[in-house]
Amino acid sequence: MLRLLLRRLLLLVPTILVVVTLVFIMVRVAPGDPAIAILGDYATKDSLEALREKMGFNVPLWLQYLRFLSNIFRGDLGVSMLNNNPVKAQLLYALPYTLELTISSMIVGVLLGLPFGILTALRRNRWADYVGRIVSLAGISIPSFYLGILMIFVFSVKLGLFPVMGISRSGDLLGRLNHLVLPAFTMGLILTSYIMRVSRSTMLNVLKEDYIRTAKAKGLNNVIVVYKHALLNALIPIISVTSIYFIVIIGASVMVEIVFSRPGLGKLMVLAMKQRDYVMLQSIMLVYAALAMMINLATDLIYGLVDPRIKYK
């Protein structure tokens, strides 16, 4: 396991280099002029040229790339073009809010999706299975921003159970959790649908295997058969799909943060895109890419813990 971890960490170096290069190119080829976005359409030519020189956009592209690489590997993410504040400080402020939203959504999705997926597989072609399939299809189909608006209307406006939007400014843990419930369930219920469907299909395939019939023929308790023999052998594809959608909901948190007016990387990215803040935008994209690589690394390690038969050569 240690050798696997070291090997994966070494492989991250060229991966990071490729990601950094792609981020640099994608941001630079996007249409629009950041100098005009900052100063406005009526700015003079001299002021635009002075701003481009200050931001380093008046030098050749290859020199901009080398400077960009140098700053990244020194941990210097630069200064925002809009407010002249360090990008690193703004990301460190926003990142915990995005992580708490995505992690809590993942917990909701796993805790609800896995047991309901197992239940629908065990009750195949019965009313519980039909209801589960309809609910999961509805969860996949509904957009996160629309579900968020419905959650606000029902649980905040009508019932008054949770705050409408924002975060707790008092620093109280209960207050922060109270503001987190609706956003977490908005993303978590959608994730529940995906996990439920993959859990159902995987469990149905495993329950047909010969070793399951043998375990039942031996007179083992049905709970042991389902959770010890069937579920453990069905976990690998479930973990794979869950890790993929963990990465997806990190990006999907943009809409939920906007609907619930929460600080986070999503709101920073939208603002940076609107204002053509190259420095902020490329830094956020790098953070998203780093999170995706960390999740993939953790998934590889979890495979070996769940199934000892998996060998990494």
Residue 98 CB partners (closer than 8 Å, separation 6+): 250, 253, 257, 264, 265, 266
- Pick 39 or 229 by higher pLDDT: 229
What's the pLDDT score for residue 310? Answer: 62
> Rounded to whole angstroms, how far apart are CA atoms 49 and 39?
11
Q: What is the mean pLDDT of residues 274-279?
A: 76
pLDDT of 212-269, one tens digit each? 888 888 887 888 888 878 888 888 888 888 888 888 888 778 888 888 888 888 888 8
Q: What are the pLDDT digits (tens) for 121-136?
A: 888 888 888 888 888 8
Q: In this model, does residue 117 exceed pLDDT 60?
A: yes
Interval 63-86 mean pLDDT: 78
Give residue-wise pLDDT tens across range 245-257: 888 888 778 888 8
Of the candidate ranges 169-173, 237-241, 272-276, 296-300, the one whose mean pLDDT is the lowest: 169-173
Residue 313 has pLDDT above 60, yes or no: no
Mean pLDDT of 168-187: 80
Single-letter residue type at 168: S
Whether pLDDT at 184 is above 60: yes
- Cβ 117 vs Cβ 196: under 8 Å: yes
Domains of the chain: 17-73 (no CATH), 92-306 (1.10.3720.10)
Task: Identify the residue with better confidence: 295 or 29.
Answer: 295
**What's the pLDDT tens digit per position in 153-172?**
888 888 888 887 777 666 67
Band of residue 33 on the pLDDT scale cut at 50, 70, 90: low
Band (293; pLDDT cuts 50, 70, 90): confident
Read off the pLDDT band of 39 (50, 70, 90).
Answer: low
Fill in the amino acid letter for 294: M
Residue 143: pLDDT band with limits 50, 70, 90 = confident
Q: Residue 60: is its pLDDT beyond 80?
A: no
Which residue in the block uniquely carries the two structure tokens 């395939």?
A: 205
Region 270-288: mean pLDDT is 80
Residue 286 confidence (pLDDT) above 60? yes
3-state secondary structure of 263: coil
pLDDT confidence of residue 175: 74
Retrieve residue 10's tokens: 């070494």
For residue 79, report the phi and psi dihedrals to the nearest 5 degrees.
Answer: -120, 140
**Highest mean pLDDT out of 6-15, 16-25, 241-250:** 241-250
pLDDT value of residue 190:
87
Confidence (pLDDT) at 59: 74
Q: Model confidence over 196-214: pLDDT tens digits? A: 888 888 888 888 888 888 8
Alpha carbon of 171 to those of 90, 167, 168, 175: distances in Å? 19, 10, 6, 8
Per cent of the chain over pLDDT 90 is: 2
Non-local (6+) Cβ contacts of 282 within 8 A are 23, 24, 27, 68
The pLDDT assigned to 170 comes to 63
The neighbouring-strand residues paired with 79 are 86
pLDDT of 212 reads 83
